[in-house]
Amino acid sequence: MLLGSLIALLTAASWSIAAVFYKKGEGELTAVEVNAVRCPASLAFLAIVAAAARVPIAVLWEPMVLAIVIVATLLALVAGDTLYLLSIKKVGVALATAASYTYPAFTAALSAWLIGERVGLAVAVGTAMVVMGVWLLCRDEGDAGEGGPVAGVAIGLAAAVTWAAGITAFRYVLFSCDPLGLALVRMIVLTALLAPVIPEALAKAGPQGMLYLSAGGMLGLGLGGVLFYAALALIGAARASTITAATPLFSALLSMALLKERLGGIQLLGIALISAGVALVSAD
C-alpha cells in the first residue's frame, strides 16, 4: 500500500510540474497550439511504454469502441485540455489547476445521471466544499492578470465539465480494454485530430517552447497517466484518486516558487478546500 500511495503522490507531482512547463513554454502560442506542440513527444513516450509492456490494443480499433474513444478524446483532450491551457494563460497555474481539477465532482454527477452510480453523503459534502473553494478562488486577492480571476476560473470550470464528460465516456471503454492501451490510442486520436495544427505550432514555439511543452506533455499525458494506472492497480481507484486530489496544492506551491505567482490567503484556502472536497468525492 505504501508503494501505491507514493506512486499516486508522484502522479500528482508529475501533473503539477507539467502545468508549470506549459506556462513556461506557452509564449505567444494559442491554447490550441500549446495542445498541439505537446502531442508528438507524448505519443512517442506512450508508444514506447506500451510496446515495452506488450499492451493489447486490438479491441480499441473495433468501430463502436473507436467511435466512443474519438468522442471522449474530443471532449477530454481537445476541448477540455485546450480550455485548461487557456485558463493557465489567463490566470496562471495555481488558479487554473484548482478550478479545472474540480472535475471529479462533475464526473460523479454525470455518472449518477448517465450510468446510475450511487451518490453518497461524502460526494454531497465534497461537492459543497468544491463549490465554496471555487467561490474563494474568485476573490481577487492575488495576481490573476487583467480583469481578475473570474473569467479564467470560469474557463477552468468549463475544462472540468468537458473532462468529466470525456472521462464518463471513457468509462464505457475501460470495461473491455487495458487502461494503458486506452491511453495510447486516445493519444493517437488526439495527435491525428490536431495534426493540421502541429507543424505550424512547432515552428512558432521555437526550440525552447518546444522543449518545455514536450516535457510537459510527457509528464502530464505520458508519465502521469502511466503512474496513475500503476497506482490504481496497487491501491485501487478510491485511494489513488484521493491522493492525486493533492494536485492543486502541489501546483500552487510550485507556481509560487518557480513562476512567482501571487496568491491571497483566501485563494489559498479555496485551493485547500477544493483539494479536500475532491478527495472526499473521489473516496466515496
pLDDT digits (tens, 9 = 90+) for 54-100: 988 877 788 888 899 999 999 999 999 999 999 999 999 999 999 99
The count of structural domains within the chain is 1
Q: Quick one: cell of 92?
A: 496562471
Give the Cα separation of 207 and 218 in Å (integer): 16
192: containing domain:
2-283
Most confident region among 56-65, 146-155, 211-220, 262-271 by mean pLDDT: 211-220
Q: 216 and 21 in contact (C-beta within 8 Å)?
A: yes
Give the Cα separation of 99 and 216 in Å (integer): 19
Give the Cα separation of 159 and 36 in Å (integer): 17
**C-alpha separations of 7 from 88, 228, 275 in Å:** 26, 7, 18
pLDDT value at position 60? 76
pLDDT value at position 35? 97
Whether pLDDT at 145 is above 60: no
Q: Quick one: cell of 232?
A: 490504481
Write the pLDDT tens digit of every residue in 170-210: 877 877 778 888 889 999 999 999 999 999 999 999 999 99
pLDDT value at position 228? 87
Residue tagged 508508444 (cell numbers): 47
pTM listed for this prediction? 0.90
Give the Cα separation of 27 and 112 in Å (integer): 40
Q: Is the dihedral of CA 64, 171, 60, 40 positive or negative?
A: positive
DSSP H stretches of helix in 26-120: 31-37, 39-53, 63-73, 81-91, 93-100, 103-110
Average pLDDT, the chain: 88
Whether pLDDT at 168 is above 90: no
